[in-house]
Each structure stands twice: as C-alpha cells, then as structure tokens.
Amino acid sequence: MGKVYGVSRWNTNCSDVADSIDANIYGSHPVYFHHKYTNGSRGRNHSTHAVYLRNTNGMDILMRDSYLQYRVIGGIFDLYFYTGPSPQDVVQQYVTSIGLPTMHQYWTLGFHQCRWGYHNISYLEDVVQGYRDANVPLETIWTDIDCKILGVFVNLDMYEYRDWTLDPISFTPANFSKFLQAIHANNQHWIPIHDAAIYHPNPNNASDAEDYFTAGDEQKVWLLNPDNSTYIGDVWPGYTVFPDWLANNTQSWWTEGFRNFSMIADFDGIWLDMNEASSFCVGSCGTGNVTQNPVHPPFPLNGEPGEVIYDYPEGFNLTNATEAASASAGSASQVAATSTPSSLSISTTMAATPTPTIDPTIENINYPPYAINHQQGNHDLAVHAVSPNATHHDGTLEYNIHNIWGYRESVATYNALIDHHPGIRPFIIARSTFPGSGAVSGHWGGKQFLVRSDLR
C-alpha cells in the first residue's frame, strides 16, 4: 500500500499549535468533491461527484490507494451522495442539503480594518480619521478583546475580557456612543468581538457578577458536568461557563444579552471567537475552585508589561532595521525591569497533560478506544476545548455534538440579531464552523501562524 493521506475532524483551538498539513483546526466539514477526467481529455468526458458524511462526532478520514476510509468514534453514518455531473451541479446539490449561503449587506463587501491593540477610543478615532485623510474608503472598524480591558496595563488584577462589556475607562459609554454616532453618520460601521465563554464570578466577590451571568444562572443555560453541577472552564476572563444551545432558555437569554449590549454600544455585526468551544484547561477545572478565580489567564498576553510586541507590522525588522534594533533593546529592558505579575500564577490549570492510562473495561470518552489523530497533547479530546463529558440539559454528551457547538452559537446569534434589527440582514463571522454555518454566518480563518526559516 502506498502513502496514506488523511485528516481528522474534531474542532479545536489551534492558535497555539502549528498549522500542520492535514491536521484538525477550528471547524469540521466532512465532505469531499471528486473531479475526474477520462480518455486523457481535459476538455470533455469529465465528471464530478461529492459525498457528505453528516456526522458530528470526531473522526479520521483516510485516503487509501483505491478507496477512502472513515473512522468515526460515534454517531451515525448519514451519507449524502451528489452525482453532478458538473462541478456547478455538485455545489448546487450540496447547498440544497446544508442551506444556501447567507446574503450579507452590501457594505460588508467593502474595506474593513481590524487588529489587536486599539487600547482606547483615541486609537479608533485616529485610525478612522487616517483613512479619511488619505482618501481611502473605510466601511468598517473592528475591535478585538482589548476593548474589554478594565483599567490600564500596570494593574493586571483589573483585567476582565468579559462579553457584552466595554472598558469603562478607555471606552467610556458616552465617548464610545459619540464615536459610533459619528461613523454611522458617515455610513461606516463597527463590529466587536464576542467570545464563547461567560465569566463566572468569584463568590467571595458577589458584587463582581455581571447581570447576564446571574440571569443565565437562574435560567439554567450552562453546560453541566455528568453530576449535574455547572461545567466551569478557564478562558480569557478567568473561570468561565459555556451556554448550552440545547437548553430551553438559552436562545431568549442570548438574545437579551445582545439587546442589552446594543443599548451600550450600537454594533453593526458580531465577530464570534473561541467557539470550538475553547478552554485553556483540561476538564471542568473551575468546579469547586471559583473562589480562586484568577480573573486573568495564567500567562501574559500581548501588550502587557513584559509582553509588548514591537515587531508590528510584519517585516518591520527588515524594512526598518535601525528602529527595530532600538525597539528590541527597549523590549529587553522592559522585560528585565518587569517581574512576572503574581496574578498570572494564581491558576494551576495549565499543568502538562498527563499521558493517559487506558483501561479497555472502563468507558472513557476523553480517550475512546480508537484515538483520532487530534493535534492537541496526547490526542486528548479535552485539551484546549470543552471536555467531551460536558453534558447538555437533555442528557446529550458534548462528545457527540462537539463539532457543532460553534454552528449552534452562530444560529443563536443570527436569531438574536434578527430580533435586534428586524428586517436587516445580520452580519456574523465565526471561527468554528460546520456544514450549514454559511446559511447564517460568514467564516474567518482564526489566528494561524506561518513560521519562516528563510528570512534574513
């Protein structure tokens, strides 16, 4: 048998892992298209077909010499065959099954500006004005999670990164509202990021609880542990909970969250991130530990003391060697002068993933008998993701529907934006996708890094 090619399907946060060829990444689309020429003619006698495996479990798909092999760790085999015969026919047949792509508003096709590092309202105003001064049309300005940082970089204990909030110091509601009114008057738009996880307050500081967390807790919208306690992971704000899209009250709670946020900041679209759904620890690490909520992930983030990125834009060190050398020296001086903040060492949830011990007599859905080629540590399905044993309110295990968590979030967000702006097409982009996601959202590729060894 010749060389075997294959790909795994298990949605994962791969920002921290090299984007290996054929490795699983943020989304899963178990469909293949095959275009075949016959009689050595490329202009005629050709045919196209496709096969879609409608299965939401983890899987490996291997391409052998003369056949394709599915290795699926659960669920059902629901196969759709599209006979073509032309490529256009196959695409039309496929979208008939999964839904036609959503029609976005005309402005979404224009020029957009987005980057991490707009730390206050002045940054945004300067960027928008800079485009105007240069006579470059700008349709949309975006903001990353740093618009949710409370306070200044010298006090890490004040970081929050919470959904449906703005930094009340750097992005005060009054000033931000004025900014939005100005760009809207100029037919421009604003899109904020929205992460999948919801901050769980430290019970020793009850006044720290956001209203939307309290409402979600009362309405029982969180994923659960197998013992029916709340599943608590660790994401940007610290210990966090995750919406259960199968729970009865989740959609109305989600809609209310966006409706209330629009009263603070009138957004024009939503950028969904971390919706694999991602978690920085293995398992429900916050259950029983929320009194130690670190509020901040247990590692420094770009822009913080000792972690300032000086090489923006890419290639700065090549085109501006003198300035880059000065920046590098400044960075080294800052690192030397800045001790590791104590708040970064509070959480111990990032311990190395142990090598699993498999007992074939015990069902362990984190380590099923067949281990798919998952690119995270030890092929552990719970690494950098909500654990497979997280349980939905109807008893469904995340193990069986993990790959559609992001898709279900996109559907819920689409419904929320329809409620917010009736009659206006929602604009949503999501990092984690599944067949059918395109009917409600666009897609963005996530933070993938290309390592170059030939740069001088």
Do 279 and 320 fall into the same domain? no
Cα–Cα distances in angstroms (integers) from residue 273 to residues 13, 145, 386, in the given order: 10, 10, 14
Q: Are residues 165 and 228 in the same domain?
A: yes
In a domain, 449, yes or no: no
User: Does 146 map to a domain?
Assistant: yes
Side-chain-facing half-sphere of 358: CA atoms under 13 Å: 11
In SS3 terms, 307-325 reads as: CCCCCCCCCHHHHCHHHHH
Q: How far is the C-alpha of 192 from the C-alpha of 424, rounded, in Å?
A: 18
Domain limits for position 328:
314-340
| Whole-number Å distance between alpha carbons of 287 and 56 | 27
- Verify that 241 and 287 share a domain, yes or no: yes
323 falls within a domain = yes
Considering the domain architecture, whether residues 332 and 346 belong to the same structural domain is answered as: no
Query: Residue 115 domain-assigned?
Result: yes
Cα separation, 310 vs 324, in Å, equals 8
245 and 327 in a single domain? The answer is: no
- So what's the pLDDT on residue 22? 73
275 and 333 fall within a common domain: no
Please answer whether residues 242 and 233 qualify as being in contact, where contact means their C-beta atoms are separated by less than 8 angstroms: yes
Residues in the chain: 456
- Which tokens belong to 305? 């003391």
b/e map 393-404, b = 16+ CB within 10 Å: beeebbbbbbbb
| Alpha helices (H) along 25-172 | 87-98, 121-133
Alpha-carbon distance of 81 to 97, in angstroms, equals: 10
Domain closes at, from 48, 73, 98: 98
Do both 207 and 243 map to the same domain?
yes
Query: What pLDDT does residue 344 have?
Result: 36
State the pLDDT at residue 423. 93
Predicted TM-score (pTM) of the model is 0.86
Question: Is residue 55 domain-shared with residue 175, that is, in the same domain?
Answer: no
pLDDT for 343 equals 38
Contacts of 32 (CB under 8 A, 6+ apart): 50, 51, 61, 68
- Claim to verify: residue 242 and residue 354 sit in the same structural domain: yes
Within a domain: residue 452? Answer: no
Residue 454: the pLDDT is 32
Splitting the chain (456 residues) into consecutive groups of 10 residues, what average pLDDT does each group show?
Answer: 69 71 86 82 76 96 89 94 95 96 95 87 93 96 84 47 87 90 97 95 83 96 96 92 98 97 94 94 91 69 60 57 70 56 37 48 76 86 93 96 97 96 95 96 74 31
The per-residue pLDDT for 453 is 31
Q: Is residue 309 part of a domain?
A: no
Question: Into how many domains does the chain fold?
Answer: 3
